[in-house]
Amino acid sequence: MSDQKSCACSAASKLIFACSGAADVGAIADQAARQLAGEGIGKMFCLAGIGGRVGGIMKTTESAEKILVIDGCPLNCAKSCLEQAGFTKFEHTNLTDLGLVKGQSAVTGENIQKVVEDGKAKLSCN
């Protein structure tokens, strides 16, 4: 048994739900979530499972230390999905707030990185 102390919000209990809509901003949100997961910042999780009220996905989400929801546009579909499932304690990013506009924002590394940096800040232990 280790006496090593770690952050109370361990990476294993951070979940990321992203809009993966058909627009450019949906693709950016999705790619940013995948990058955050790939870097070990959190685990990308299934938004459709929340919408479908899949038991295991709901239970895992209920036990998460932190949740990040990334929406591509002002419709806030991902946020609404979690709220309708009864979740209220989560961090939320809307790409519009980061200066990205639906139909006008290319899926580039620079735009994805804007969202990644915002996500890292919101999922940090501070």
Residue 106 lies in a domain: yes
Residue 1 lies in a domain: no
Residue 32 lies in a domain: yes
pLDDT tens digits for range 59-112? 999 999 999 999 999 999 999 999 999 999 999 999 999 999 999 999 999 999
CA distance 58 to 87: 10
pLDDT for the residue numbered 12: 44
Residue 4 lies in a domain: no
Domain containing residue 75: 11-123
Residue 5 lies in a domain: no
pLDDT tens digits for range 61-71? 999 999 999 99
